Structure 1
């Protein structure tokens, strides 16, 4: 049985895919909502570059991310990225972390999924 038990999910964009931003937002929201329904969840989801926008005010993906956090998934966003986009005070879910934190989660994960 395949699970997300020791998987790190990394989100580096403000959506999924490439060309259509609105579609990308819908896709990432749907992905995260479906992830909420999994029996075993990933222990951590990291966010960097434009991915940090997903955990901030106004994000279409906030609802499933809040649910994932309530279910025990640690959401860690790159503080440098949050500062770059002037979003540090707009974080709605998760915690700011450092690149050292993100590297640690990469080292201990048995699988890394990049979105």
Structure 2
């Protein structure tokens, strides 16, 4: 069951601050549990280093693809993809602009920042 109008924002290549390897383990667990428990957001936005999670080689790519198949929309910041030179490596979601992200934030009933 999707949360009707929840937006999750991911702005890091992982979850939390500190050890990068632990951050990837945590984001992987979070996404897998959200999928398994059926507690899916309506939309996930990815910006800054978070865009790396949507690209070739990401350890959470399979989970993100499953979430997308389950109806979760994923918007990836095009400016960020260009900055990290990843524009051709995206494997899930669609590219969007900062205006798209601002609009989604305004329309969401709940915003979760990871």
Global fold match (TM > 0.5): yes
Instruction: Show the counterpart of 1:113.
Output: 112
Instruction: Show the counterpart of 1:17.
Output: 16
Paired residues for 1:24-39 under 5 Å: 24-39=23-38
Q: Secondary structure at the match of 2:88?
A: helix
Matched, 1:79 2:41: no
TM-score (norm 1): 0.94
Paired residues for 1:45-84 under 5 Å: 45-84=44-83
Give, in whole Å, the separation in 2 of the partners of 1:63 and 1:27.
Answer: 15
Give, in whole Å, the separation in 2 of the partners of 1:56 and 1:83.
Answer: 12
Give, in whole Å, the separation in 2 of the partners of 1:72 and 1:88.
Answer: 23
Give, in whole Å, the separation in 2 of the partners of 1:23 and 1:33.
Answer: 15
Instruction: Show the counterpart of 1:6.
Output: 5
- Tell me which stretches of 4 or more aligned residues in structure 1 moved more than 4 Å: none
Check the 8 A contact 1:7/1:43 in 2, yes or no. Answer: yes
Deviation at 1:40, TM superposition (A): 4.8
